[in-house]
Amino acid sequence: MMRLRFASTTVAILAVIQTGFLLFLYAQHGGLMSRAEEKPAQVHILILSTWRSGSSFVGQLFSQHPDVFYLMEPAWHVWVTMYQNSAKVLHMAVRDLVRSIFQCDMSVFDAYMPRKRNVSDLFQWAVSRALCTDPACEYFQRTEITSESACKTLCGKYPFSKVEEACKTYSHIVLKEVRFFDLKVLYPLLNDPSLNLKIIHLVRDPRAVVKSREQSAKALARDNGIVLSMNGTKVEDNQYKVLQEICRSHVQIYETASLKPPRFLQDRYLMIRFEDLVQDPLAEITAMYKFANLQLTSKLEHWIYNITHGQGPSRKREAFKITSRDAVNVSQAWRNILSFQKVKKVQEVCKGALNILGYQLVDSEKQQKDLSLDLVLPYRRNQFSWASFSHT
C-alpha cells in the first residue's frame, strides 16, 4: 500500500513538473512571437511621386528634420545602369534597392556604382542633411538646416561607408522615389516584418506638371524613354504619352490604397496634393509629420515659412534645385503660361486623374485665366472622398 501511495505521489510530482515545463515553453514561444510581431525600431517612409510634382520640396521637408535619414531618388542609379529596360521590368530591381536602403545595407549599390566611391558618388547626395552632418560629415551638426552648396564644398570626399554608418543612427529613414508606377509592387515591402513602412503619395495637377516638365525637357529625356519602353532611346514627350502613363499610375496607386485596400495598408497610406501643401503649408506638413511620427520643431517651422514665401526663382533654372519662392503663385503659374490648346490636350490624356484627384477641368481660356476660380476641389482626407466630385 505504501509503495502504491509513493508511486502515485511521484506521478503527481512529475505531472506538475511536466505541466510547468510546458507552460514555460509556451510562455517563451509566446514571447518570441510577440517580439517577432513588434514593429522595428526605425520608421520607414517612402514618398511616392513623379517628376516635376514638387517632390524635391517635400523631400526637403523631411530631410531637414534632425531625426531623419533621407535619400533623394536612389533608384536613379538603377535606371542609369539598366536604361535599356522598361520601367515595369526595373520595378523589381528598384524595390530590392529600396528594401536594402531601408535596412541600412548600402552594399546594394555595388551593382550600380564603382567599387571605390565617395559619398559624392550618390545621386543628389548633397540635398540630404544626414549626409552633410555628423557622423557622415564632421563640419555640421545634425540639428542644423544645411545648404546644398556648403555641403558639396565640405563633405563630398568622405568615404561611401559613411552613408551606411549615418543611416544606422537615425530613427526615421525617408526615401523619395519617382520610379514606381504600381503600388502592388510594394506589397512585399509592406508585408516585410523587418520594415515599418508608410507611404506618402504626392500628386500635383497634371497641367502644372506639364508646364514644369517643358522647362526640364532635356533632363527628363532618358527617363521618358524608359517609361515608354524605347530601348535606351532618349525621348521628348511632345505627345504627352509619358504624362498619360504618370496619370494612369497616380490613379492606380490612389484607387488601390483607398478603394477596398488590403488590411496591411490600413493607416499606412497618405495622399498629399501639392496645391494643398503650398496653400496651407503648416497644416499639411503637420499632417505628414503626424503620419510619420515626427515632431515639427520651431527651427523647421521658420525655415518652411521662408522657403514658401520667397520672391521667386532666378531666371537661371536647374532641374532639381530648391529655391525660396512664392509657392502659391508657382502652383498656379501654368494658368497664365500654357496655351489653352495644351491645357485641352492634357485634360484629354489625364481626364480620369484630374477627376479622381480632385482637380476641376476648364472649358475655355477665360476659365483658365480666371484665377479667382479655384480649380482644386476640397479634400476630406480621413474619408478618402471629395467634397465635390463626379465621374465623367
pLDDT in tens, 221-250: 999 999 999 999 999 998 999 999 999 999
Domain ranges of the chain: 39-104+168-309+321-386
**Which three-class secondary structure state does DSSP give residue 208?**
helix
User: Number of C-alpha atoms within 13 angstroms, CB side, residue 391?
Assistant: 2
Name the β-bridge partners of 30.
Answer: none
- Grid coordinates of 304: 518652411
**Contact yes or no for 215/222 (Cβ under 8 A):** no
The 10 Å Cβ neighbour count of residue 181 is 19
Distance CA 195, CA 41 (A): 9
Alpha helices in 293-339 (DSSP H): 298-308, 327-332, 334-337
**Would you identify the CATH topology of the domain 39-104+168-309+321-386?**
Rossmann fold (3.40.50)
Query: Which residue, chain included where needed, has cell 496651407?
Result: 280
CA 134, distance to chain mean position in Å, is 24
Q: For the chain, first and last CA: distance in Å?
A: 92
d(CA 26, CA 55): 49
Rounded Cα–Cα distance for residues 121 and 354 (Å): 38
Q: How confident is the model at residue 311 (pLDDT cuts 50, 70, 90)?
A: low
Query: What is the rounded distance in angstroms from the CA atom of residue 31 to the CA atom of residue 18?
Result: 20
Report helix angle 55-63 to 281-292, nearest 10: 60
Residue that wins the pLDDT comparison between 314 and 187: 187
Nearest alpha carbon to residue 97 among 83, 119, 113: 113
User: pLDDT value at position 260?
Assistant: 87
CA distance 173 to 101: 9
What is the C-alpha separation between 63 and 369, in angstroms, rounded?
Answer: 36
Distance separating alpha carbons of residues 295 and 67, to the nearest angstrom: 9
Residue 386: the pLDDT is 36
pLDDT at 251 over 50: yes
pLDDT digit string, tens, across residues 22-63: 455 445 555 444 444 566 789 999 999 999 999 999 999 999
Distance between CA atoms of residues 228 and 230, nearest Å:
6
* Whether pLDDT at 306 is above 90: no
Residue 37 confidence (pLDDT): 52
Cα separation, 86 vs 208, whole angstroms: 26
CA distance 221 to 213: 10
* Mean predicted confidence (pLDDT) in 357-366: 97
Q: Is the pLDDT of residue 312 over 80?
A: no
- Mean of the pLDDT values across residues 296-317? 74
DSSP SS3 for 146 = coil
Higher pLDDT, 305 or 240: 240
For the residues 298-310, what does the mean pLDDT come to? 86
The span from the CA of 228 to the CA of 216, in Å, is: 18
pLDDT single digits (tens) 75-106: 999 999 999 999 999 999 999 999 999 999 99
pLDDT band at residue 315, thresholds of 50, 70 and 90? very low
| 69, β-bridge pairs | 173
Per DSSP, the residues of 87-120 read: HHHHHHHHHHHHHHHHTT-GGGGGGTS-SS-BGG
Distance CA(126)–CA(72), nearest Å, equals 10
pLDDT of residue 208: 96
- Average pLDDT (150-167) is 96
**Matching residue, cell 496653400:** 279
Q: How many CA atoms lie within 13 A of 94 on its CB side?
A: 28
Residue with cell 515599418: 196
